[in-house]
Chains A and B, each alone.
Chain A
Amino acid sequence: QKEVEQDPGPLSVPEGAIVSLNCTYSNSAFQYFMWYRQYSRKGPELLMYTYSSGNKEDGRFTAQVDKSSKYISLFIRDSQPSDSATYLCAMRGNNAGNMLTFGGGTRLMVKP
């Protein structure tokens, strides 16, 4: 079983929809949680970076961490065609330096 599970999609939504992307994990030592966005033929770019449980909001994006359930989410409000990309969750523990464990990514398509 993988340490981090992420539905690969593809997830297709109409423009303006609220998108929910999720990851589950098995390692209770994970403390730092990240969401990366990767456009086709590009490297991943950091979208959200959170520590421990709770919510973090940045514009149309909200990251949510529920450590008790080992479940993290990324919500995108008022989705745009430019949000079409693969979204990767990543996480690490306190003593792991910068060693990240990645999910396999969810491919999102927002249709105009």
Chain B
Amino acid sequence: EADIYQTPRYLVIGTGKKITLECSQTMGHDKMYWYQQDPGMELHLIHYSYGVNSTEKGDLSSESTVSRIRTEHFPLTLESARPSHTSQYLCASVGGYNSPLHFGNGTRLTVT
């Protein structure tokens, strides 16, 4: 079973701050994803990566950026946080082509 760790679990910050949400997985999965989830709403893909040095934007426009320097690590950065960024951010990874996604427990971000 995949182990995916997200830190911090909860974050409250002021507008204009730069933040990085951490995501690490221990299963050696090549594919990793970031989703945004608002209460009662479906998950929206904001970034994904198919391996080291590979990153792509997802369906939902996002002002965040990601990097993939190591297989196990896929951090998401907001250069200047705004209240509209308040949401839950979920990281996921997958091993094989037909394998399902495994999710971390998310980071709940509040920007005041």
Contact = CB atoms under 8 A, between A and B. Distances in A.
A46 B100 contact: yes
Interface in B84-100: 90, 92, 94, 97-100
Interface size classification for chain A: 20 to 34
Interface residues of B, number: 25
A45 B4 CA distance: 12
Given A43-B104, A46-B101, A98 B42 contact: no
Nearest to B40: A8
Contact of A100 (B40, B41, B98, B101): B101
A105 B38 CA distance: 11
A87 interface: no
A46 B42 contact: no
Interface string B20-33: 00000000000101
Nearest to A44: B103
Interface in A48-93: 49, 88, 90
B100 A105 contact: no
B90 A44 contact: yes
Interface string A4-31: 1010100000000000000000000000
Contact of B45 (A34, A43, A99): A99
A40 to B, nearest CB: 11
A97 B31 CA distance: 10
A56 B50 CA distance: 30
B47 interface: no
Give the 8 A-B CB pairs with smallest separation, nearest first. A43-B103, A102-B42, A104-B42, A102-B43, A43-B105, A98-B94, A46-B100, A44-B103
Interface of A: 2, 4, 6, 8, 32, 34, 36, 41-46, 49, 88, 90, 97-100, 102-105, 107
Given A2-B42, A43-B6, A88-B42, 13 more contacts: A4-B42, A34-B100, A36-B103, A43-B90, A43-B104, A45-B103, A46-B100, A46-B101, A98-B31, A98-B94, A98-B101, A102-B42, A102-B43
